[in-house]
Protein backbone atom coordinates (compact mmCIF):
# COMPACT_ATOMS: atom_id res chain seq x y z
CA UNK A 1 0.00 0.00 0.00
CA UNK A 2 2.86 2.37 0.75
CA UNK A 3 4.28 2.00 -2.74
CA UNK A 4 1.21 3.09 -4.71
CA UNK A 5 2.81 6.25 -6.08
CA UNK A 6 5.89 4.58 -7.62
CA UNK A 7 3.75 1.73 -8.92
CA UNK A 8 1.45 4.18 -10.71
CA UNK A 9 4.49 5.81 -12.31
CA UNK A 10 5.75 2.39 -13.38
CA UNK A 11 2.32 1.63 -14.81
CA UNK A 12 2.36 4.86 -16.81
CA UNK A 13 5.81 3.97 -18.10
CA UNK A 14 4.63 0.62 -19.40
CA UNK A 15 1.89 2.34 -21.40
CA UNK A 16 4.45 4.76 -22.84
CA UNK A 17 6.62 1.80 -23.84
CA UNK A 18 3.64 0.13 -25.50
CA UNK A 19 2.96 3.34 -27.44
CA UNK A 20 6.54 3.34 -28.76
CA UNK A 21 6.27 -0.31 -29.77
CA UNK A 22 2.96 0.40 -31.53
CA UNK A 23 4.57 3.20 -33.54
CA UNK A 24 7.39 0.91 -34.60
CA UNK A 25 5.12 -1.86 -35.88
CA UNK A 26 2.31 0.24 -37.38
CA UNK A 27 1.89 -0.29 -41.10
CA UNK A 28 3.85 -3.53 -41.34
CA UNK A 29 0.83 -5.80 -41.68
CA UNK A 30 0.43 -7.10 -45.26
CA UNK A 31 -3.32 -7.63 -44.77
CA UNK A 32 -5.64 -4.74 -45.72
CA UNK A 33 -8.02 -3.65 -42.99
CA UNK A 34 -11.07 -4.58 -45.08
CA UNK A 35 -10.17 -6.97 -47.87
CA UNK A 36 -13.31 -9.12 -47.74
CA UNK A 37 -15.72 -8.90 -50.69
CA UNK A 38 -18.59 -9.37 -48.24
CA UNK A 39 -20.07 -6.53 -46.27
CA UNK A 40 -22.06 -6.08 -43.08
CA UNK A 41 -21.18 -5.02 -39.55
CA UNK A 42 -21.92 -8.54 -38.27
CA UNK A 43 -19.56 -10.32 -40.66
CA UNK A 44 -16.87 -10.81 -38.01
CA UNK A 45 -19.38 -12.25 -35.55
CA UNK A 46 -20.69 -14.65 -38.18
CA UNK A 47 -17.18 -15.85 -38.90
CA UNK A 48 -16.52 -16.49 -35.21
CA UNK A 49 -19.81 -18.37 -34.81
CA UNK A 50 -19.25 -20.72 -37.75
CA UNK A 51 -18.85 -24.41 -36.85
CA UNK A 52 -15.31 -24.36 -38.25
CA UNK A 53 -14.34 -21.61 -35.80
CA UNK A 54 -15.84 -21.42 -32.30
CA UNK A 55 -19.36 -22.40 -33.22
CA UNK A 56 -22.35 -20.97 -31.38
CA UNK A 57 -21.71 -23.01 -28.22
CA UNK A 58 -17.99 -22.22 -28.29
CA UNK A 59 -18.80 -18.53 -28.62
CA UNK A 60 -21.06 -18.92 -25.60
CA UNK A 61 -18.14 -20.44 -23.69
CA UNK A 62 -16.00 -17.46 -24.67
CA UNK A 63 -18.65 -15.04 -23.41
CA UNK A 64 -19.14 -16.94 -20.13
CA UNK A 65 -15.40 -17.10 -19.46
CA UNK A 66 -14.59 -13.45 -20.12
CA UNK A 67 -17.70 -12.33 -18.20
CA UNK A 68 -16.83 -14.57 -15.24
CA UNK A 69 -13.18 -13.50 -15.05
CA UNK A 70 -14.37 -9.89 -15.07
CA UNK A 71 -16.62 -10.57 -12.08
CA UNK A 72 -13.63 -12.12 -10.31
CA UNK A 73 -11.60 -9.01 -11.06
CA UNK A 74 -14.00 -7.01 -8.87
CA UNK A 75 -15.09 -9.52 -6.24
CA UNK A 76 -11.87 -11.51 -5.79
CA UNK A 77 -10.04 -8.84 -3.82
CA UNK A 78 -12.91 -8.59 -1.31
CA UNK A 79 -13.14 -12.36 -0.96
CA UNK A 80 -9.44 -12.59 -0.16
CA UNK A 81 -9.07 -9.56 2.11
CA UNK A 82 -12.48 -9.44 3.88
CA UNK A 83 -13.45 -13.12 4.04
CA UNK A 84 -10.19 -15.10 3.76
CA UNK A 85 -8.32 -12.36 5.70
CA UNK A 86 -5.35 -12.07 3.36
CA UNK A 87 -2.98 -9.15 3.70
CA UNK A 88 -3.21 -6.82 0.65
CA UNK A 89 0.44 -7.51 -0.15
CA UNK A 90 -0.34 -11.22 -0.47
CA UNK A 91 -3.20 -10.37 -2.82
CA UNK A 92 -0.75 -8.49 -5.02
CA UNK A 93 1.56 -11.49 -4.99
CA UNK A 94 -1.33 -13.75 -5.99
CA UNK A 95 -2.20 -11.52 -8.95
CA UNK A 96 1.45 -11.54 -9.96
CA UNK A 97 1.40 -15.34 -9.89
CA UNK A 98 -1.68 -15.28 -12.10
CA UNK A 99 0.17 -13.13 -14.63
CA UNK A 100 3.22 -15.41 -14.50
CA UNK A 101 0.98 -18.42 -15.00
CA UNK A 102 -0.71 -16.74 -17.97
CA UNK A 103 2.66 -16.30 -19.69
CA UNK A 104 3.72 -19.88 -18.99
CA UNK A 105 0.35 -21.33 -19.93
CA UNK A 106 0.18 -19.38 -23.17
CA UNK A 107 3.69 -20.42 -24.17
CA UNK A 108 3.03 -24.04 -23.29
CA UNK A 109 -0.28 -24.17 -25.14
CA UNK A 110 1.32 -22.58 -28.20
CA UNK A 111 3.69 -25.54 -28.43
CA UNK A 112 0.94 -28.16 -28.22
CA UNK A 113 0.33 -28.18 -31.95
CA UNK A 114 -1.39 -31.57 -31.90
CA UNK A 115 -3.85 -30.61 -29.16
CA UNK A 116 -7.13 -29.27 -30.62
CA UNK A 117 -7.95 -25.70 -29.73
CA UNK A 118 -11.38 -26.82 -28.49
CA UNK A 119 -9.73 -28.99 -25.85
CA UNK A 120 -7.56 -26.10 -24.67
CA UNK A 121 -10.60 -23.82 -24.51
CA UNK A 122 -12.58 -26.27 -22.39
CA UNK A 123 -9.68 -27.18 -20.10
CA UNK A 124 -8.65 -23.57 -19.65
CA UNK A 125 -12.15 -22.35 -18.85
CA UNK A 126 -12.94 -25.32 -16.62
CA UNK A 127 -9.74 -24.92 -14.64
CA UNK A 128 -10.34 -21.21 -14.08
CA UNK A 129 -13.89 -21.92 -12.96
CA UNK A 130 -12.68 -24.57 -10.51
CA UNK A 131 -10.12 -22.14 -9.06
CA UNK A 132 -12.81 -19.50 -8.56
CA UNK A 133 -15.06 -21.98 -6.75
CA UNK A 134 -12.27 -23.21 -4.46
CA UNK A 135 -11.36 -19.63 -3.56
CA UNK A 136 -15.00 -18.69 -2.93
CA UNK A 137 -16.19 -21.78 -1.07
CA UNK A 138 -12.96 -22.88 0.62
CA UNK A 139 -11.54 -19.45 1.52
CA UNK A 140 -8.03 -20.95 1.63
CA UNK A 141 -5.03 -19.34 3.25
CA UNK A 142 -2.13 -17.87 1.31
CA UNK A 143 -0.19 -21.13 1.34
CA UNK A 144 -2.93 -22.92 -0.60
CA UNK A 145 -4.53 -20.00 -2.41
CA UNK A 146 -1.43 -18.44 -3.96
CA UNK A 147 -0.50 -21.59 -5.96
CA UNK A 148 -4.10 -21.72 -7.15
CA UNK A 149 -3.56 -18.34 -8.78
CA UNK A 150 -0.57 -19.71 -10.64
CA UNK A 151 -2.69 -22.63 -11.87
CA UNK A 152 -5.57 -20.35 -12.81
CA UNK A 153 -3.22 -18.02 -14.66
CA UNK A 154 -1.77 -20.93 -16.64
CA UNK A 155 -5.30 -21.97 -17.59
CA UNK A 156 -6.03 -18.38 -18.59
CA UNK A 157 -2.94 -18.30 -20.81
CA UNK A 158 -3.87 -21.61 -22.46
CA UNK A 159 -7.40 -20.31 -23.06
CA UNK A 160 -6.11 -17.12 -24.67
CA UNK A 161 -3.70 -19.07 -26.87
CA UNK A 162 -6.55 -21.32 -28.01
CA UNK A 163 -8.67 -18.29 -28.87
CA UNK A 164 -5.87 -16.81 -30.98
CA UNK A 165 -5.20 -20.11 -32.72
CA UNK A 166 -8.87 -20.54 -33.56
CA UNK A 167 -9.24 -17.10 -35.09
CA UNK A 168 -5.96 -17.26 -37.01
CA UNK A 169 -6.62 -20.69 -38.49
CA UNK A 170 -10.39 -20.71 -38.99
CA UNK A 171 -10.96 -17.25 -40.47
CA UNK A 172 -9.79 -16.32 -44.00
CA UNK A 173 -6.85 -13.93 -44.16
CA UNK A 174 -8.95 -11.25 -45.86
CA UNK A 175 -11.42 -11.29 -42.94
CA UNK A 176 -9.00 -11.44 -40.02
CA UNK A 177 -9.52 -7.77 -39.19
CA UNK A 178 -13.30 -8.24 -39.05
CA UNK A 179 -12.98 -11.30 -36.83
CA UNK A 180 -10.59 -9.63 -34.39
CA UNK A 181 -12.76 -6.52 -34.23
CA UNK A 182 -15.77 -8.71 -33.39
CA UNK A 183 -13.74 -10.53 -30.76
CA UNK A 184 -12.69 -7.26 -29.13
CA UNK A 185 -16.33 -6.12 -29.07
CA UNK A 186 -17.27 -9.32 -27.26
CA UNK A 187 -14.44 -8.95 -24.76
CA UNK A 188 -15.18 -5.28 -24.09
CA UNK A 189 -18.89 -5.85 -23.53
CA UNK A 190 -18.18 -8.81 -21.25
CA UNK A 191 -15.64 -6.79 -19.29
CA UNK A 192 -18.08 -3.94 -18.70
CA UNK A 193 -20.90 -6.34 -17.85
CA UNK A 194 -18.70 -8.33 -15.48
CA UNK A 195 -17.41 -5.24 -13.69
CA UNK A 196 -20.94 -3.89 -13.25
CA UNK A 197 -22.14 -7.25 -11.98
CA UNK A 198 -19.30 -7.46 -9.48
CA UNK A 199 -20.04 -3.92 -8.34
CA UNK A 200 -23.75 -4.77 -7.93
CA UNK A 201 -22.87 -7.64 -5.58
CA UNK A 202 -20.53 -5.38 -3.61
CA UNK A 203 -17.97 -6.31 -0.99
CA UNK A 204 -20.43 -7.98 1.38
CA UNK A 205 -21.69 -10.45 -1.24
CA UNK A 206 -18.33 -10.95 -2.90
CA UNK A 207 -18.29 -14.68 -2.08
CA UNK A 208 -21.60 -15.13 -3.90
CA UNK A 209 -20.26 -13.17 -6.88
CA UNK A 210 -17.11 -15.28 -7.10
CA UNK A 211 -19.21 -18.45 -6.77
CA UNK A 212 -21.36 -17.22 -9.66
CA UNK A 213 -18.22 -16.59 -11.72
CA UNK A 214 -16.92 -20.10 -11.12
CA UNK A 215 -20.29 -21.70 -11.81
CA UNK A 216 -20.78 -19.82 -15.07
CA UNK A 217 -17.36 -20.79 -16.38
CA UNK A 218 -17.78 -24.45 -15.46
CA UNK A 219 -21.26 -24.52 -17.00
CA UNK A 220 -19.92 -23.10 -20.27
CA UNK A 221 -17.08 -25.66 -20.32
CA UNK A 222 -19.51 -28.50 -19.60
CA UNK A 223 -21.87 -27.46 -22.41
CA UNK A 224 -18.98 -27.26 -24.88
CA UNK A 225 -17.76 -30.68 -23.77
CA UNK A 226 -21.20 -32.22 -24.21
CA UNK A 227 -21.40 -30.80 -27.72
CA UNK A 228 -17.92 -32.10 -28.54
CA UNK A 229 -18.71 -35.67 -27.45
CA UNK A 230 -22.08 -35.59 -29.17
CA UNK A 231 -24.41 -35.58 -26.16
CA UNK A 232 -25.76 -32.20 -27.22
CA UNK A 233 -26.33 -31.51 -30.89
CA UNK A 234 -27.24 -27.87 -31.50
CA UNK A 235 -29.00 -27.12 -34.75
CA UNK A 236 -26.51 -25.92 -37.34
CA UNK A 237 -27.16 -22.67 -39.08
CA UNK A 238 -26.11 -21.87 -42.64
CA UNK A 239 -23.38 -19.24 -42.54
CA UNK A 240 -22.50 -17.16 -45.56
List, for residues 167-193, the tens digit of each pLDDT value: 999 998 888 888 999 999 999 999 999
Arithmetic mean of pLDDT, 82-108: 94
Residue 237 confidence class, pLDDT cut points 50, 70, 90: very low
Q: Report whether 146 contacts 90 (CB < 8 A).
A: yes
For the entire predicted model, the pTM comes to 0.86
pLDDT interval class at 240 (50, 70, 90): very low
Q: Is the model's pLDDT at 71 over the cut of 70?
A: yes
Q: What is the predicted pLDDT for the residue at 41?
A: 78
**Residues in CB range of 216: below 8 A, 6 or more apart:** 64, 67, 68, 129
Residues in the chain: 240
73: nearest Cα among 57, 104, 94, 59: 94
Helix, strand or coil for residue 219? helix
Q: What percent of the chain has pLDDT over 70?
A: 90
Q: What is the distance of C-alpha 33 from the center of its chain?
A: 25
- Look at 115-124, 172-181, 204-213 and tell me which has the smallest mean pLDDT: 172-181
The CA distances from residue 46 to 34, 181, 194, 224, in Å, are: 16, 12, 24, 18
Q: Give the pLDDT mean for 50-66.
A: 94
pLDDT band at 232 (very low <50, low <70, confident <90, very high): low
Helices 55-78 & 117-138, crossing angle to 10 degrees?
Answer: 30
Shortest CA distance to 98 belongs to which of 133, 148, 142, 134? 148
Whether the per-residue pLDDT at 239 is higher than 50: the answer is no
Q: How confident is the model at residue 4 (pLDDT cuts 50, 70, 90)?
A: confident
Instruction: Indicate if the pLDDT at residue 233 is higher than 70.
Output: no
Amino acid sequence: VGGIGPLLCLNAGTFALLAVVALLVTGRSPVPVDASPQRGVLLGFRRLARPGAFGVVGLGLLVCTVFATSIEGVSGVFVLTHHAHWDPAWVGLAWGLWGLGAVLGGQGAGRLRECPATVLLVLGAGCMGAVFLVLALGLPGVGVGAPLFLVGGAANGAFNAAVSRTILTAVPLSEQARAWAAYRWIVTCCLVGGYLTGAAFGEHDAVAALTLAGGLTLAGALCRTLVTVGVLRPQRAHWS
